[in-house]
Amino acid sequence: MTQTLTGRTALVTGSTSGIGAATAHRLAAEGARVVVTGRDTARGDTVVKEICDNGGDAVFTASDLTATPDALRDFAREATDAAGGIIDLLVHNAAVCPAVDTLALSDADLERTLAVNIRAPHVLSAALAPAMTEQGRGAIVVVGSWMAEVGHPYVGLYSASKAAEAQLARSWAAEFGPRGVRVNTVAPGATRTPINDDSDDVIRRMTENLPAGRAGTPDDIAAAVAWLASDQAAYVYGATIAVDGGITATRAG
């Protein structure tokens, strides 16, 4: 694999499994030093070991994205130190998706979703973007969702939070872009991850009639994130790239 990210450092939130872990692996394979993060130290250490065993460079720093803004800023400083003094690439991957309707949504899930999906990305971007702008180079990638574009009876809050996050990315592109920091969104479709292992039939029905003819994989999403993070996407600002097998554009089936 061509190492398009040699000399860069990356922080990927929620990178102990699924899309986040695949993204950490891909960025490391392309030469970046990766800060893997999440709540589960054992899983994080496993991802780091896998990356290092494959010749990559990674380190784990624990995080709780439901924490207070001050605690998130402390985490940003810890991650920066672990990365070696600056983070060039920030990937907002972590998300909470309570699959319930509006009436069944608990107050706790409401607060947790807003904290992880909106507040944490906002605080971390505000904490880490200044160092990128100071050096005149950096990239922020939001992992959004195709559900930000459609109405669905059971994931209304999640969909709204992902739409909000994509709008933050567009605003950050306008704010930080003139100072060298590109910000974009990757919007996955129905993607097979450990979180939805028990929903195989649902995923199959959603994707069997798509132009792609299959569900997405974490590696599909990671490849798009890595491209947006690289200089190959130097003229891409504020875009939302659908990596969804055609589900948003065609509504096949």
- Distance, CA of 151 to CA of 189 (rounded, Å): 14
C-alpha dist (Å) from residue 149 to 1, 68, 99, 163, 237: 33, 30, 17, 7, 19
> Do 243 and 187 form a contact (C-beta atoms < 8 A)?
yes
CB-CB neighbours of 201 under 10 Å: 8
CA distance 47 to 25: 8
In the chain, count H helices and then E strands. Answer: 9, 7
Q: Which helix (H) or strand (E) holds 160?
A: helix 156-176
> Could you give the 3-state DSSP secondary structure of residue 94?
coil
> Among 187, 176, 188, 147, which residue's Cα sits nearest to residue 237?
176
Q: Which of 158, 159, 230, 237 is catalytic?
A: 158
181-188, strands of its sheet edge to edge: 57-62, 33-38, 9-12, 89-92, 138-143, 181-188, 240-243
Of 17, 125, 161, 162, which residue is the catalytic one?
162
Q: Reply yes or no on whether 237 is catalytic.
A: no
Check 15, 17, 125, 145 and give the catalytic one: 145
Q: In the 8-state DSSP scheme, what is residue 119?
A: I
Would you call 106 a catalytic residue per the annotation? no
Active site residues: 145, 158, 162
